[in-house]
Amino acid sequence: MASNKKILFLPGDGIGSEVMAEVRRILEWLEASRALGFDITEDLVGGASYDAHGTPLTDDTMNAAMNADAVLFGSVGGPKWDDLDFSLKPERGLLRLRKEMDLFANLRPAIVFDALAEASTLKPEIISGLDIMIVRELTGGIYFGEPRGIETLEDGTRRGINTQVYTTSEIERVARVGFELARKRQGRVCSAEKANVMESGILWREDVQRIRDEEYPDIELTHMYADNAAMQLVRNPKQFDVIVTDNLFGDILSDEAAMLTGSLGMLPSASLGAPDGTGQRRALYEPVHGSAPDIAGRGLANPLACILSLGMMLRYSFDLGSEADLIETAVSNVLSEGLRTADIMQPGKAKVSTSVMGDALLRELDEIGA
């Protein structure tokens, strides 16, 4: 029998522990019903870690993350820690994990469940059935490039500087992630940059095209200027399958795509590192939302973004695609039955708490997946 998968749970702050509790129940269901084994360990991160240890991430927890098969992260932050020194802020815990695990590819799916098509600000016919994946380069580009800073010029005025830098190897590895994903989807990649005005964009376009020609001739590759991609995402988002783009444009395009789906409480994400000798990648999965201090501790949080993040973990880290499908179908069915947490509430639907949404999912899993 295959050895158990090692999962590190980092619930963090605010609603993190509430939504992760529901994920744990789904994992227990998978163990009981699908003969799967998971070794789950749990640790502190963010403000919770600062309160206990004086740092948002201890070295021990960092080591545990490096040795896990996958990390599931809740959320960090809250007003209690707003006045801490920058280096101690809860968010630094997440940034350290991303940096030391070298998580260079951020995957943000934008999926519209039929039952929620009305929640989008776009017309239902534009977004119903939408299923796109944005792959954002996460560790390079203008957010990290040197030189950077603010300097005072001789005449006393100031100048702010950031530098967009990409090397071929940074472009190639994120392009490969996009092409691999497309192979498991509809086989189409759109690469977005600004090759019309930026040299780094020209290099990006050339390298992505070369990787496609040499290694992924079966994938259909198109190139689009990032400003046009932003426009096309609201005009006709279903034209896309996988979008691959850099850190800056990905930051913007993934948030834009997220809003097509209507709710922060529904959005999962994955961040992947380089494959090791066995093909296994370091990986961290997390809902897109934050710690929602305004609703924390009241049973109001929508657990679906975190549960869908577990689905991504099963699919991308553990190659358990049919179990991931099962979770997505259960989510879709529960929504179709009319159950809603407060954030996605619509007239005529049944408003439920975090744990009642979890109960409904387990019932649904029993029905469709036993």
Active site residues: 143, 194, 227, 251, 255
Nearer to ligand NAD, 7 or 357 (CB): 357
295 in contact with ligand NAD (CB under 6 A): yes
Compute the least distance from the CB of residue 191 to ligand NAD, in Å: 26
Cα separation, 8 vs 286, in Å, equals 12
Q: How far is CA 288 from CA 105, 110, 254, in A?
A: 15, 11, 10
Region 4-33 residues binding ligand NAD, contact defined as CB under 6 A = 15
78 in contact with ligand NAD (CB under 6 A): yes
Q: Which stretch binds ligand NAD (CB under 6 A): 32-40, 69-77, 97-105, 151-159?
A: 69-77
Angle (CA) 353-359-360 rounded to 5° is 90
Between β-strands 268-275 and 149-152, what pairing exists: parallel, antiparallel or unpaired?
unpaired
Interface pick for ligand NAD out of 75, 106, 164, 191 (rule CB under 6 A): 75
**Residue 343 is encoded by which pair of tokens?**
């954030």
State whether residue 176 is helix, strand or coil.
helix
57 in contact with ligand NAD (CB under 6 A): no
Report, in angstroms and rounded to the nearest whole number, the Rg of the chain calculated over CA atoms: 21
358 in contact with ligand NAD (CB under 6 A): no
H/E stretch holding 288 reads: none
76 in contact with ligand NAD (CB under 6 A): yes
305 in contact with ligand NAD (CB under 6 A): yes
Nearer to ligand NAD, 107 or 229 (CB): 107
Q: Packing angle between helix 226-235 and helix 247-260, nearest 10 degrees?
A: 10
Nearer to ligand NAD, 75 or 317 (CB): 75
Type of residue numbered 110: A
Compute the least distance from the CB of residue 83 to ligand NAD, in Å: 12
The rounded Cα 221 to chain-centroid distance in angstroms is 23
Interface pick for ligand NAD out of 120, 164, 245, 291 (rule CB under 6 A): 291
294 in contact with ligand NAD (CB under 6 A): yes
Within 8 A by CB and 6+ apart from 270, the residues are 106, 107, 283, 284, 285, 309, 312, 313, 316
Nearer to ligand NAD, 89 or 194 (CB): 89
Compute the least distance from the CB of residue 26 to ligand NAD, in Å: 16
Nearer to ligand NAD, 46 or 201 (CB): 46
Cβ(70)–Cβ(313) under 8 Å? yes
Nearer to ligand NAD, 265 or 273 (CB): 265
Region 263-282 residues binding ligand NAD, contact defined as CB under 6 A = 264-265
Q: For the chain, what's the residue count?
A: 370
Within 8 A by CB and 6+ apart from 352, the residues are 339, 340, 341, 360
Cβ count within 10 A of residue 25: 17
Interface pick for ligand NAD out of 17, 191, 247, 302 (rule CB under 6 A): 302
77 in contact with ligand NAD (CB under 6 A): yes
Cβ(200)–Cβ(166) under 8 Å? yes
Torsion over CA: 27, 288, 105, 176 (sign): positive
Interface pick for ligand NAD out of 211, 284, 301, 324 (rule CB under 6 A): 301
Cβ(165)–Cβ(141) under 8 Å? yes
Compute the least distance from the CB of residue 44 to ligand NAD, in Å: 14
Cis peptide before 293 (omega within 30 of 0): no
Compute the least distance from the CB of residue 318 to ligand NAD, in Å: 22
94 in contact with ligand NAD (CB under 6 A): yes
- Residues lying near ligand NAD in the complex (CB under 6 A): 15, 75-78, 91, 94, 264-265, 286, 289-295, 301-302, 305, 341, 343
